[in-house]
Structure 1
Amino acid sequence: MWSDRAKDVMRKAAIRADLITESDHPNRLMLVSEPEAAALYCERECKRYDLLNHERFMICDAGGGTVDLIVYEITISSEGRRLSEVTKGHGASCGSMFIDLNLKNLLIKKFGIQAAKLPKNIIPSLVETFAYQVKPQFDGIEDQHLALPRSDCFDDLDDPKAIGIDGMYICLKASELKEMVFEPAVKKVLTLIQEQLDSAKLCQAIFMVGGFGASNYLLKRVKQEFGGVVRTISAPHKPEMAVVCGAVYAGLNSKTVAARIARRCYGVGTSMPFEAGIDPVHLKVERIDGIWCKNRFSTFVRKGQKIDVDECVSDNFSVTKLAENETFSYSFNIYSIDGEPRRYVTDTGVSKQGGFSVPSPFKPSDPIGHKIDVDVNMYFGLIEIIAEGIIQGKKYYTTLQFN
């Protein structure tokens, strides 16, 4: 769920915090998604789980707010283990905070009309106790007893036993915790896992990480649902630390992930030969070097395409001298769309994501109509997308902006 825009916001925040400067090379700040960091952590667990060359594992990063999933394939060579994205990953808002919300609603229901008479801190205090003491270890079998906060308000209840209060504890039945508290969130997680399995086709392991990923009940339900089709379903040691530790591993070895899946379709705005009957007249431009259609979308990579981390996607363009004593710059703008490529950058759904300018490369002695090549390179395999233009040996680059 970490979008390109979110990554751009993170980089801008780092600049405003003076961690880096706007003129620094993009590689000075390395961004890594939480599922990828978790994958790097779990990759070190692969030997323990007997995951072999070309086998696949899913990361289910279940945190407080969101649950994010992605599938990786292991490649073992003389250079060591490498990971490649198999699916583009997806997620939803169904983390453990929704279990806390469900418990709050259950408690309000149990107290009934008397809930409005309780001090405001009572139910939040019970939810907090549940979150730390019950939620991680709940197995769906044992009833749970929450210690009540010290308060005289419980003495004024009409029928404490009907609520489940016995002395200084309130009893929560395992059945009601499963049905009303855990299952609404767990079922959404199971659906997300099934969608990833459908996309990946084959998957030998599922690793549960994150704070919610440490839940015994969630792990139990995932095993019940998918144990027949996935060989290994487990939570690694300290699953709540997987992302933090994995981010360190990413910094120590940025080459572990060998390939990623493009989240969007990307291209460059350019001019192409005008096609009568297809291109609209208002985009027609007549120049000394021909008749052109402006605002065309030149595709570099399609959504869902697998891109190696070291891979540079390139295309060759040219700029033409149209007048004597040119002093203006040439702009190359990068566009994207969440779907199939469009014909024009002005089409619905196409968004400008950034660009770079190159100064006029022409000499006064160059004749009008003289062309100079410009190589445009894009690096999609990184966490962020970097574009660069090379003209007469000089490089101009940008990290794409997502507004």
Structure 2
Amino acid sequence: MTSKPSILVAAIDFGTTYSGWAFSFKHEYDADPTKISGRQWIGGRSVSLKAPTTVLIKPDGITLDSFGYEAETRYADLAAEESSEYKRWYYFRRFKMLLHGKMGFDRKMRLEDETNKSLPAKTVFSLVIRYLKDDMLKTSRDRLAKGHLREDEITWVLTVPAIWNDAAKQFMREAAVEAGIKNENILIALEPEAASIFCSLLPTEMMAEGGGMAAFSPGSKYMVLDAGGGTIDITVHEVMTGGKLKELHKASGGAWGGTQVDEAYKQFLISLVGNPVFQRFQSECKEDHLDMFRDFEIKKRDISSENENNVTIRLPSSLKEIFEDETKEDLLNAIKQTQYADKVSLKGDKLRVDASVMKGFFSKVIQNTVSHVKKLIKDRRVRGISSILMVGGFSESKMLQHTIKSNFPNIRVIVPHDAGLVVLKGAVVFGHNPSAVVQRVCKFTYGVKICDTFNEKIHDIRKRKELPDRSYCDDIFSKFVEIGQTVTLNETTVEKSYLPQTDDQSGIDFKIYASTQKSPMYVTDEGCVNLGKIDIDILDMTVPLKERSVLVSMTFGGTEIEVRAKEERTGNSTKATVDFLG
């Protein structure tokens, strides 16, 4: 974590569907925290401060060819050539979800591209981060050069979902280091927190219908619903005196983002033409496939639960031709034999789809989201929330907005303008003010595996181990914090003293565990997962074993866990590193 104020803060919002960068200078932040610069990305009819999270890597597997809209178009052009050469290239899209939901994974894991070839995941992530870093520096070089900015004067902020675990955060940090950013210059920002911080600074006129600043007055409680491409990420905040934020409930959510709607649309098309036809179309007509889903991306934002009109979708002629070549059937007649016979019609390249079918693409996402929010609102810690703040690109969907508003009529729903950009801009603000969120809630019970003198009154006989001079109990869960516990920024949560087991032991290695239980007895109990390890050096091996105790402290109030260790006899700090990746 950076410790000194930076002249410039640059944020990289690495999203499932879209990614981008933004920055502001310290003097700009001091004058107007919302004054943030970014790049406009152009692709087809779209102009945005974020580009598709799509990367094309050359056949050598280490050289990035292009990113974003350019990568999409370039790959389609390569595939259109009368050659299979393009299959040697690596084409990755929407791959961030690889890091979602895994309690434990290693830094050697691999990532499969669109043609099932694989590269180390760290390579792909770091190439994207490097591209965005270099693009920011190159695009902004005129402004940056005026002050001859040094690398150590820039704080880089990486965004991650609040529901991600510690291994995923460490993976992103290591990918950024591999991309050429110094570890001490990196901050991790939690996406819904960043959005909340930014929205608290906006004037009333920058908030959409249902807006206003009452949600951000001291004492007010509100829910942040960050709807992105991959996940729905939810936190609950209370505003404290001075505008600082306190988290009231541990981050929660699930893989219910906008890409689930895209997948439902894809399955609808497959039900019309059949999987073999669709796979051939996807392989042979990449440009048409790309354009079709770009068009749907725009359309899905306008689909509303109140809309009863049919929706027109342009069906590429190439898809129709492949269907007729494969099946020797007329597509219109074939559609009449499907479950959508009365819901879908085809005229030329125009597919007319009943509104109920289009709304159905959202059903799974909406059911999961509404059910989860209803469950949260019943929690005693969340009672009294006055507003739901909807942010993230998927929050721009009228369907999702209307559903949230209709299901929670007594709670004000706030959707800021450019909801898809507030996380990116908020990450810049967070970089200038990392202490904006002063209290957070633990998502798990954290502890380490230790051994202790065996006590037959409390210990399981199956855990008994023998040393030459004594018996000890193995696999004990030594708890530091518990699930649901409120922890404060920069405040040491707990300190514990530990001794090595043998005379020749020059260090203490702990395995760190997370549990969904409040007070597990052993690390083998149900709900316990090994996250990684803590390595602590013992500096003085000359003193007796009983005087080599090490005081270990953990701080949980930030966006990442910090560990410190010192020898109790001398007070000297000793090396302590946490590794959540195997």
- What's the TM-score once normalised by structure 2's chain length? 0.59
Matches of 1:195 and 1:35, distance apart in 2 = 19
Secondary structure (helix, strand or coil) at the match of 1:32 reads: strand
| Residue-pair matches, total | 383
For residue 278 of structure 1, report the CA deviation from its aligned partner. Answer: 3.5
2:485 corresponds in structure 1 to 305
Matches of 1:219 and 1:128, distance apart in 2 = 21
Contact 1:268 1:332 in 2 (8 A): no
2:506 corresponds in structure 1 to 329
Contact 2:506 2:539 in 1 (8 A): yes
1:58 corresponds in structure 2 to 223
Alignment gaps of 5+ in structure 2: 1-162, 205-211, 325-329
For residue 322 of structure 1, report the CA deviation from its aligned partner. Answer: 7.1
Matches of 1:114 and 1:309, distance apart in 2 = 54
Matches of 1:320 and 1:119, distance apart in 2 = 63
1:315 corresponds in structure 2 to 495
For residue 400 of structure 1, report the CA deviation from its aligned partner. Answer: 4.3
| Partner of residue 398 from structure 2, selected from 180, 195, 216 | 216
1:343 corresponds in structure 2 to 521
For residue 306 of structure 1, report the CA deviation from its aligned partner. Answer: 0.9
Q: Which has the higher contact order (CA 8 A, sep 6+)?
A: 1
Q: Structure 1 residues 322 and 99 mapped into 2: Cα distance closer, same or farther (>3 Å)?
A: closer
The answer to whether residue 255 in structure 2 is matched with residue 93 in structure 1 is yes
Secondary structure (helix, strand or coil) at the match of 1:89 reads: strand
For residue 144 of structure 1, report the CA deviation from its aligned partner. Answer: 2.2
Written as runs of structure 1 = structure 2, the 5 A alignment for 1:218-237 is: 218-228=400-410, 230=411, 232-237=412-417
The answer to whether residue 465 in structure 2 is matched with residue 283 in structure 1 is yes
| Partner of residue 294 from structure 2, selected from 128, 132, 135 | 128
Question: Could you report, residue by residue, the CA deviation over 1:127-146 in whole angstroms, capped at 9, with x for unpaired residues?
Answer: 431222x1112223143223
Q: Structure 1 residues 372 and 71 mapped into 2: Cα distance closer, same or farther (>3 Å)?
A: same
Matches of 2:541 and 2:256, distance apart in 1 = 57
Residue identity in the other structure for 1:205? S
Matches of 2:439 and 2:255, distance apart in 1 = 27
Contact 1:56 1:73 in 2 (8 A): yes
Contact 1:266 1:334 in 2 (8 A): no
Contact 2:500 2:508 in 1 (8 A): no
The answer to whether residue 551 in structure 2 is matched with residue 375 in structure 1 is yes
Matches of 2:263 and 2:531, distance apart in 1 = 39
Matches of 1:103 and 1:136, distance apart in 2 = 13
Residue identity in the other structure for 2:164? W
Contact 2:464 2:472 in 1 (8 A): no
Secondary structure (helix, strand or coil) at the match of 1:165 reads: strand
Matches of 1:152 and 1:380, distance apart in 2 = 53
Secondary structure (helix, strand or coil) at the match of 2:218 reads: coil
Question: Could you report, residue by residue, the CA deviation over 1:173-197 in whole angstroms, capped at 9, with x for unpaired residues?
Answer: 222222x222232222212222322
Written as runs of structure 1 = structure 2, the 5 A alignment for 1:150-299 is: 153=320, 157-158=331-332, 163-166=344-347, 169-178=350-359, 180-199=360-379, 200-228=382-410, 230=411, 232-279=412-459, 280=461, 282-285=464-467, 293=473, 295-299=475-479
For residue 165 of structure 1, report the CA deviation from its aligned partner. Answer: 3.1
2:91 corresponds in structure 1 to none
Q: Structure 1 residues 182 and 390 mapped into 2: Cα distance closer, same or farther (>3 Å)?
A: same
Contact 1:336 1:352 in 2 (8 A): yes
Q: Structure 1 residues 402 and 262 mapped into 2: Cα distance closer, same or farther (>3 Å)?
A: farther
| Partner of residue 180 from structure 2, selected from 14, 18, 29 | 18
Matches of 2:496 and 2:290, distance apart in 1 = 61
For residue 224 of structure 1, report the CA deviation from its aligned partner. Answer: 0.3
| Partner of residue 7 from structure 1, selected from 169, 175, 180 | 169
For residue 256 of structure 1, report the CA deviation from its aligned partner. Answer: 0.3
* Segment drifting more, 369-378 vs 33-42: 369-378
Matches of 2:253 and 2:239, distance apart in 1 = 22
Matches of 1:153 and 1:295, distance apart in 2 = 62
Q: Structure 1 residues 169 and 384 mapped into 2: Cα distance closer, same or farther (>3 Å)?
A: same
Matches of 2:522 and 2:562, distance apart in 1 = 22
Question: Could you report, residue by residue, the CA deviation over 1:364-393 in whole angstroms, capped at 9, with x for unpaired residues?
Answer: xx5x46525532110111111111111223
Q: Structure 1 residues 319 and 131 mapped into 2: Cα distance closer, same or farther (>3 Å)?
A: closer
Matches of 1:35 and 1:267, distance apart in 2 = 26
Residue identity in the other structure for 2:297? A
The answer to whether residue 179 in structure 2 is matched with residue 32 in structure 1 is no
Residue identity in the other structure for 2:512? Y
For residue 157 of structure 1, report the CA deviation from its aligned partner. Answer: 4.8
Residue identity in the other structure for 1:343? M
Residue identity in the other structure for 2:296? F
Alignment gaps of 5+ in structure 1: none
Structure exhibiting the larger radius of gyration computed from Cα positions: 1
1:42 corresponds in structure 2 to 199
Question: Could you report, residue by residue, the CA deviation over 1:52-74 in whole angstroms, capped at 9, with x for unpaired residues?
Answer: 22221111111112211111111
Matches of 2:529 and 2:478, distance apart in 1 = 12
* Segment drifting more, 122-131 vs 48-57: 122-131
Fraction of identical pairs, as percent: 26
For residue 251 of structure 1, report the CA deviation from its aligned partner. Answer: 0.6
Q: Structure 1 residues 113 and 295 mapped into 2: Cα distance closer, same or farther (>3 Å)?
A: closer
Matches of 1:145 and 1:118, distance apart in 2 = 24
Cα RMSD (Å)? 3.4
Matches of 2:252 and 2:484, distance apart in 1 = 12
2:303 corresponds in structure 1 to 138
* Segment drifting more, 256-265 vs 102-111: 102-111
Q: Structure 1 residues 291 and 136 mapped into 2: Cα distance closer, same or farther (>3 Å)?
A: same
Q: Structure 1 residues 4 and 114 mapped into 2: Cα distance closer, same or farther (>3 Å)?
A: closer
